[in-house]
Amino acid sequence: MAPILKPDLCVIGGGSGGLTTAAAAAAFGVKVVLVERGAMGGDCLNYGCVPSKALIAAAKHVAAIREAKRFGISAGEPEIDFAAVKDHVRGVIAAIAPNDSVERFEGLGVTVLKADAVFVGESTISASGQIVEARRFVVAAGSSPLVPDIPGLRETTHFTNETIFDLRQRPEHLVIIGGGPIGMEMAQAHRRLGSRVTVLEAGALLGRDDPELAAVVVETLRGEGVALRERAKVVAVRGGDRGPSVTIETDEGRETIEASHLLVAVGRAPNVAGLGLEAAGIDYDARGIKVGRDLRTSNRRVYAVGDIAGGPQFTHVANYQAGLVLRPILFRLPVRERRDHLPHVTFTDPELGQVGPTEREAKAAGSLRDVVRWPYRENDRAQAERRTGGLVKLVLGEGGRILGGGVAGMAAGEITNMLSLAVGKKMGVADLRDLVSPYPTLAEIGKRAATVYYRPYTEKPSVRRLVGMLARFG
């Protein structure tokens, strides 16, 4: 029997949240044990952000070739080798994997156990038989694709984000259940790569986002030939020789859609099962491990970060939370998580970015005072790139404070960075107006939206009178 390991910190899960926690703690000389049962890098590297963005990048090249004519360049219809596209996706994962590898983490001084962690006591886990007693724990065990209780679904061959990237033959007709970020990103990428694609969404497509901004993406996908069905309730799924068939109910009645492949993308379930949380006195529910604003669980020695902690499920949120829990763990400093400044971006083309509350959310909270917009078509760079669809929206509170902002359009994710800074630092609309933005850049649209706020001021008769009067003095 191996001797008991007694580190200062034990991290469960080697994905975005766990790796950030372990690397940063080890950098301060803390003894860390990291337990990972699957592939190092977790969902983001292996089945999430990285493969999806690599596939999207390939699909963008197809679109660029098709659009080249508008720039006076003729390239013909692109030839797509679907298996080679998947090799490219694997290649991107392989290029990033060393950063998340066991070797790198051991080099940082972390003890990595490739094992299944189970709590067997309040401050003890068993990692496939190896006992680890730690002063503090961070649970970063992530989430898994949710497979809803639709009659016939479990018995029918279907894909999730954990398997779709391994598919080497182009699907003839990909039917996707779920029109959230996974569904919409995958829909556009597969359509551009030559598949027929149908998205079945129970509610509204990209329903967590501002509807005015989401519409920019939805209309683009529709224009590219993705069949989009909103308010479509999937009532049955059946397997067949030629592929699955999906029966839906809409306002127009019942309809059965024949697919060659089926992708399920209806959200995530936290990986709480099998962690032995009861043995450690850690409370959880269907959303995940329950944490306070200090990310501490009902067991004061244990913190939870990332997808398993029940909050927004993004890599940058897992990283942010990892940074927060290190303060009490390493320095015994109090922390309080903020969520009002957390951004998210859906990497369709055009992209859709949001930080802080949407217009609807700010209105419901009673904090909305104004909304200002600026369209891409008024931006010179967007004109040069011939990418004039989309807009930026600033959600303003009392005194012009920037509560939130959203962007739909080319490079919206990059522009969202600027809005993130403004919201995070509680800036006012004057801060954006006064920004000197290099010309011609797309990010200028943020500044231009801010100037819209001051337009009524320039039109005020009293201000105009004053300017006119001062002009007389030479």
Ligand X SMILES: NC(=O)c1ccc[n+]([C@@H]2O[C@H](COP(=O)([O-])OP(=O)(O)OC[C@H]3O[C@@H](n4cnc5c(N)ncnc54)[C@H](O)[C@@H]3O)[C@@H](O)[C@H]2O)c1
Ligand Y SMILES: Cc1cc2nc3c(=O)[nH]c(=O)nc-3n(C[C@H](O)[C@H](O)[C@H](O)COP(=O)(O)OP(=O)(O)OC[C@H]3O[C@@H](n4cnc5c(N)ncnc54)[C@H](O)[C@@H]3O)c2cc1C
Only one of the segments 82-90, 120-128, 171-179, 377-385 lies at the binding site for ligand X (rule: CB under 6 A); that segment is 171-179
Residue 343 in contact with ligand Y, rule: CB under 6 A = no
How many other CB atoms are found less than 10 A from the CB of residue 292? Answer: 11
Q: Which of residues 299-328 bind ligand X (CB under 6 A)?
A: 313-314
What is the C-alpha separation between 14 and 50, in angstroms, rounded? 15
| Total residues at interface with ligand Y (CB under 6 A) | 36
What is the C-alpha separation between 214 and 6, in angstroms, rounded? 50
Residue 49 in contact with ligand Y, rule: CB under 6 A = yes
Nearer to ligand X, 91 or 207 (CB): 207
User: Using CB under 6 A, which of 267, 274, 292, 440 touches ligand X?
Assistant: 267
Q: Are 237 and 151 in contact (CB under 8 A)?
A: yes
Residue 13 in contact with ligand Y, rule: CB under 6 A = yes
Half-sphere exposure of 463 (CA within 13 A, CB side): 7
| Total residues at interface with ligand X (CB under 6 A) | 26
Q: Which of residues 281-340 bind ligand Y (CB under 6 A)?
A: 306-308, 313-316, 318
What is the C-alpha separation between 123 and 132, in angstroms, rounded? 8
Q: Are 295 and 339 in contact (CB under 8 A)?
A: no
Nearer to ligand X, 350 or 400 (CB): 350
Residue 209 in contact with ligand X, rule: CB under 6 A = no
User: Using CB under 6 A, which of 319, 346, 354, 358 touches ligand X?
Assistant: 346
Only one of the segments 90-98, 272-280, 344-352, 403-411 lies at the binding site for ligand X (rule: CB under 6 A); that segment is 344-352
Only one of the segments 46-54, 237-245, 353-361, 415-423 lies at the binding site for ligand Y (rule: CB under 6 A); that segment is 46-54
Residue 185 in contact with ligand X, rule: CB under 6 A = yes
Q: In sequence order, what are the beta bridge partners of 237?
A: 246
Q: Are 54 and 189 in contact (CB under 8 A)?
A: no
Q: Which of residues 345-384 bind ligand Y (CB under 6 A)?
A: 347
Partner in contact with 116, chosen from ligand Y, ligand X, none, beta carbon below 5 to 8 Å by kind: ligand Y
Q: Which of residues 79-118 bind ligand Y (CB under 6 A)?
A: 116-117
Interface characters, 135-174, with ligand Y (x: CB under 6 A): -----xxx------------------x-------------
> DSSP assignment, residue 12?
E
Query: 157-163: long-range contacts at Cβ-Cβ below 8 A with a sequence spacing of 24 or more?
Result: 157/239, 157/244, 157/262, 158/237, 158/244, 158/262, 158/263, 158/264, 159/261, 159/262, 159/263, 159/264, 160/263, 160/264, 160/265, 161/43, 161/47, 161/48, 161/52, 161/265, 162/47
Report, in Å, the least distance between residue 91 CB and ligand Y.
18
Could you tell me which of 423, 411, 413 has the C-alpha nearest to residue 376? 411
Partner in contact with 348, chosen from ligand Y, ligand X, none, beta carbon below 5 to 8 Å by kind: none
Q: What is the CA radius of gyration of the chain?
A: 25
User: Using CB under 6 A, which of 7, 43, 105, 282 touches ligand Y?
Assistant: 43
What is the C-alpha separation between 298 and 7, in angstroms, rounded? 21
Could you tell me which of 366, 449, 455, 379 has the C-alpha nearest to residue 410? 379
Q: Are 210 and 359 in contact (CB under 8 A)?
A: yes
Partner in contact with 107, chosen from ligand X, ligand Y, none, beta carbon below 5 to 8 Å by kind: none
Q: In sequence order, what are the beta bridge partners of 11?
A: 34, 138
Nearer to ligand Y, 180 or 390 (CB): 180
- CB crowding 240-261: b at 16 or more within 10 Å, else e: eeebbbbbbeeeeeeeebebbb
Residue 209 in contact with ligand Y, rule: CB under 6 A = no
Residue 180 in contact with ligand Y, rule: CB under 6 A = no
Q: Is the N-terminal amide bond of 151 cis, ω within 30° of 0?
A: no
Only one of the segments 30-38, 82-90, 233-241, 335-343 lies at the binding site for ligand Y (rule: CB under 6 A); that segment is 30-38
Q: In sequence order, what are the beta bridge partners of 430?
A: none
Nearer to ligand Y, 207 or 240 (CB): 207
- What residues line the site for ligand X (CB under 6 A)? 148, 177-183, 185, 200-203, 207-208, 234, 265-268, 313-314, 344-347
- What residues line the site for ligand Y (CB under 6 A)? 12-18, 35-38, 42-44, 48-49, 52, 116-117, 140-142, 161, 182, 271, 274-275, 306-308, 313-316, 318, 347
